[in-house]
Structure 1
Amino acid sequence: MSLNRLRASSGTYNVRESELARQYLRPERMLRCVVCFLDDTQQTFELERKAKGHALLDQAFQHLDLIEKDYFGLQYAEASGPAGLRWLDATKKIGKQVRTAEPYWFYFRVKFYVSDPSKLQEEYTRYFFFLQLKQDILRNVLVCPTSTAALLAGYAAQSELGDYNPDEHLSHYLSELRFIPGQTGEFEREVEEQHKQHKGQTPADAEFNYLEHAKRLDMYGVDLHQARDQSGVEIMLGVTAVGLVVFQNHVKINTFSWVKIIKISFKRKQFFIQLRREASEHSDSLIGFNMLSCRTCKELWKACVEHHTFFRLHVPKAPSRRHVFQIGSRFRYSGRTEHQTMQDCKKWGKVERTFERSPSKKYARRTVGGHTTDVIVEERTIDGLTNVPANTTRITAPPTNGTTTAYIRPYESFNNRLVAAATGASVVNTYVRPKKAWSSSEVAPPPPPSSRKPDEYTNGRSSIDHRSENGAESLVVIRIKPDEQGRFGFNVKGGCDQNMPVLVSRVAPNMPADLCTPRLNEGDQVLRINGNDISVMEHDQVVAYIRQSASNSTGLVLTVRPNVYVGDDEEPEAQCVPELQRVARTVPPNDRLPESVRILNDSLASGLTLEQFEQLYRRNVAMTMSDARASSNLSKNRYRDVSPYDQTRVKIQECPTGNYINANFVNMEIPTSGVVNRYIAAQGPLPNTCADFWQMIWEQQSSLVVMLTTKVERGRVKCHQYWPDLYETVDYGLLQVTCLKEEETPSFAFREFALVHLEVRARDGFLLRFTTAH
């Protein structure tokens, strides 16, 4: 008999031994991770010993119920100290990354700072960005001027404390809060003045305004890394959404945008960036920096890879397959990009939720031995509490159901807390986060149009009624229904006691006034409220009348004159406008257009174009606009703050209503080329100015018209249709216009017209090309 047949015909199984093994089998020990969130709460998660980083990230996001989660990450401190802050890699095992003793401590933070807060779809996400920026300023990570810090602190106080009330907010009411390091009483008084000016803003509004102002700081969203240049001077390299920024003594000295960088690489302690050659250069530029160690050099390189992928790519690039003799890191960003996050949020839409905002820590100043320090006041119920920090002072309050005690301990910086966590010291929770207890001020979206009657309006949605008075202007009737808290979401200024008309000074985002159709805009003049003239009302009477409308079943009905500009005529005489890079003369003619586009992309990415635009003067004080403001010409202006100069306006020669039209000659000189492009910038015609518009085209012999607006935008008429439909002919005064051709695309419509003068038919008119935006 063969050996295989012998094995197949026999076998044993020890039943008792198997049961004993099952009984005494020790379960695998779990990995304990403590995550400190931005609202100062802590949560312990247990994972398998071999769990990777994405498992902890998923549990943290699930705990917060966070949808726009790709902007956030977890940081941990290495055993070497607080200087070694690292981001948790989602693709690697947690035990291989963290070298400290258990439990492992992590800190939930913003990893990718969004360039524009309006990109964040949810108020809940903006709230976490708000908490992160508050911490960055308090820990001096985000450096900002004192005036800006006071403005931001005013928004923070409005978010947490609500409207300023002199009966509740007594003297030094801000002394318990901390906004900046080394906060003084003078700074708190500045914050108090800012807080008074933010009255009426909801927490969501105040936080959005906080982010809008914080994003303009030079250090906003900068991931800093210590380095030295080739001369040995100490600098800081910052990785941002737009590229690599160089700081020296907290001052930005250079910016390398992603569009200019071809390649990034590192070798040991040296970090290199390769830049695209300029027009006057013959080869690409290679710039090197010296880092403190090989580890920090690789961390900088990884940060550049992640930021470039997240902000610049639509889909992450998959890592290449490793070859046998491949040298170098194969690291690639493994998460979703900003584009994917925004597309996913648009697909699912807004999630209606409520959440509770966590109160800030309460501080007090304590002087010991002539030295004053800030201390944190923490409220605790000490029943069963055994672990109390040794450096605390106990203050017992009147007893309730249990003994409530306030513990005061010295304020610890973020780095000190990281050291304590790395050495295994315990950190006491400062606030217990309620489970799934959200409350939001966002207005619920209206039901789809198909489920409403034509005369109904809900949550700010309304119908539109344009009325013309002798063609001079269009008055807009706006119907607004308050939200659940009786708010309309807009502010007004002016009144008869202030000798100025009642104007809309601000419209809060995502509030009924912002969501209604037509939308209420800043600068609109309010003429009537619920059909009653308010020209004789004082400011306080107007505000009270608006608030009383919240209790009406019909809501608020405003009759407004759109976009009225009331301000001082004085404008700055001199502006410092940054110089833009231009195409060099040495560039061949065939390459000038691509080179110009590349320079424009670089300027847009670095923010130079936007900076130049914002610094342009609103009006040239050396030129006048008397003709536009004449009583006979007011009916020809769509907006009161958009008028042509007397010296450069277009004058119509043959027009029965006068020579005025709201249009201006624009001459644009192309530097170094000797070419001057000449244009005419005109407003969208009104019903009573269509004939004037075509007369201008005829006299100026303009063969191309580009319309940069649609006829109606968000319920507002932006331009009257001053052209005939396809194959139709319309007379505009002595001019006859015929539409010969029409071609539409998703974004634009291209049309061709034949323009003929009825009294000069011998000239046969001319062919006109016409482009409009959908």
Structure 2
Amino acid sequence: MIESLSRRALTGSSGTYNVHALELAALRERKLKGLKVTVMFLDDTDHTFHIEKKAKGSVLLEQVYQHLELIEKDYFGLQYSDAGCSPSNNKPECMQWLDPSKTIKKQLGNCEYPLYFRVKFYVSDPSKLKEEYTRYQFYLQVRKDILEGRLHLSSSTACLLASYTVQSELGDYHSDEHGPNYLSNLQLIPMQTEEMEKKIAELHKLHRGQLPADAEFNFLDHAKRIDMYGVELHKAKDNMNRDIQLGVTSIGLVVFQNNIRVSAFSWSKIMKISFKRKMFFIQLRREPSESYDTLLGFNMDTYRSSKTLWKACVEHHTFFRLHSPKVRRKFPLSLGSKFRYSGRTEFQTVSEVKQRGKLERKFVRSPSKLFRQSVPPPALEERGKILTAPSRPPRPYDNKVTSLGAKEPRKAWEDDCRISDDDGGFLERTLEGPFSPSLAGRVISYADEELPSPTTNELYETPPYSASPTSQVVEDGLVMITLFPDEEGKYGFNVKGGATVDVPIQVSRVAPGTPADKCAPRLSEGDQIVQINGHDVTHGLHQTVVQYIQKARRTNEGKLVLVVKPSPIYSGDEYEEPPYHYVPVGDVLRTPSPSNALEQSMLLLEDGLANGALITQYEIMYRKHPDLMCDEAVKPKNINKNRYRDILPYDVTRVVLKHSPGGDYINANYVNMHISGSDVINKYVATQGPLPSTTEDFWQMVLEEESNLIVMLTTVVERGRVKCHKYWPSLGEELTLTNVTVKCLVEETDDSRSFVFRDFLLHDVKNDRERKIKHMQYVAWPDHGVPESPEQFLGFTQRVRETRDTDGGPMIVHCSAGIGRTGVLVLMETAMCLIEMGEPVYPLDIVQIMRKQRAMMIQNASQYRFVCESVLTFYTQKILVSENHHPR
């Protein structure tokens, strides 16, 4: 036995190997050299990764991607904080992105806090993501952004997005499975109330047949249109020491002040980005009309925050704008930061996935969080009171749920003010023009509105009210409400209807915090206006109602006495029917109509107009496509043929004349608009108003393009300036040119003296052929402005559509420059066709399509706002006509 062995037996020629001691030593060494890093994922799971201390960030990132089996990985990154912050605390300055090129030890130090897997680069269009699993990760991220308050959106849009979440998680709506309160335990949107849950449930019924992947794609497709989507915010100050925020996005740099977007600079506009100590600078591209460079400077809190913003700009520009990262030359004595984005760009990622093909894989989706049930949950209405502002006293006659717009507290980022022809007195202002840190933003409504005094800044002030509004209930269920305007002359509500005497006047919107919102009982959306200061308007026209309201502002201290009939009271389950009827009526289990997408697009359009997001999205869109050249227009022989030196036709879409005596150039582009859901392509030639020297070129173009219709959206002279040469002969006279003669056969002016209609006879001299040309001129449309009312403009556009010859050549449309009013008409006709086909309408996408064919189509925000309002008006009229012909 071993106990009996002598000491001598273990001496001499022998050896030992201490296995246990060496194992312990190796374990201690691994612990000293290795790191354990915990990563929190978007589905609220976590995983611990073991890496070496000297490993770079790219090693950990690769382990994370492999753990998730993520293919389109370059959109994502890892965030960490030295102070233990998390992305949910809404303090982005506390969070940092893990740098793949630096060691983990150098970045994290002895930090024991977890890292967070998040979307770093928000894709501009979910269709670019080929993998369903990648779109699911984006869906989780955007859902977190909404729930944690980083992504601000209107309640109607929030309800729409939440309905897609419900469809993804619960599938199709079934009345036997989904009871009245089947959403009450799910955390879907911030400040969730019973009214919101009812709207979400009604929208959920519209999504029948959508698979989870379909619902998530639609979720992202709507989310991409939200104003704050994909914006990485950084705190800064202008040189007046006012707090602002700089947002880095896929399309450029945006500036926010008081949570309102005041300016934007696209990457194509920015020449250089730099920082020095706590200062951050951007140099803007010089426009043809400018003789100087613009350099904007912003004050950051610290040097570190200035460099962090600069790095974010470098990464976003490289990822979204370049085909591959640019390699910087190495110089022996280089100054400044050596940081460059070293990962793959979006172009490289998309290209690789296309070559690889889709990876079919199964994965388990993460359900929405539940409200805590450790204590009995408060009643739904009480939960709403906790999360929202205290509700106002209910009306004694009100037996329905108040609309979302009525109870939603005013947010600083919303801007619901604008005087227009369909308003009740609140002013929606739009910030236009470039933002300078040293200059306050310009505040205008329409182009012909007077600017505010430069000595005062009323942009973000909420003035006190001159008098408290009062109201009382009168007989027959009517209510009398007395309002006084605020210091800006605003009552705070919009009206719709009155297109004919049979269409009642109704309140279409009430602005939060205005007299109409503060009266008790509150003026509500859907209320029918019966009287205005004693005048019966039950059968009044829209323009008459607007005149009564405007007259009230100017007399008797602005006192406005309204007699209103409250919104209808529904029997059975109480609910308020939303605007534009996007909630199904009748059998909720029926197959949804194909127009659901149209209805939802109109809902988003209305919300975007109400909160200002639609206009800010328009303002950051490129005016000229950065990759399309206009070389032919600036050749010496052609430069004098341009009415304006900076409004030039793209080479790829320009009209090329074949037999013109003056050469092949004319300032005109082909613009083709395909109507989804059909084989229809509306063809246009968008051109400038002819000059005396280009009149012959213009008529040669009419001849060669075989056009039968010319639409003119300007007068010859406006505000003392020549906007277009009179290129046609007077009635009964003839214009003789080299290849054609033109004779005016008919000239008629409509009763309102807003339009002139002419018939021309065009004679082709060479081929001895004749054809009639219709000429339709809109003479009541101001330059850079908008028509008096959508109804007048819609009537003209409809007449244009009826006159269009589908078998002939393209319609020729021009104003003065051939971009502003011309773009409005093209967008409006396109939207009309889409609505009639039951297809969704996204005006911003239409503008983008137009600007790919002719630069700067729809010239300013006032024109864009007007055409969006006209689209809504046309859609509403269609709904009213449909209801009159198909009563429920």
Higher relative helix content:
2
Higher-RCO chain (CA-CA 8 Å, sequence separation at least 6): 2
Higher relative strand content:
1
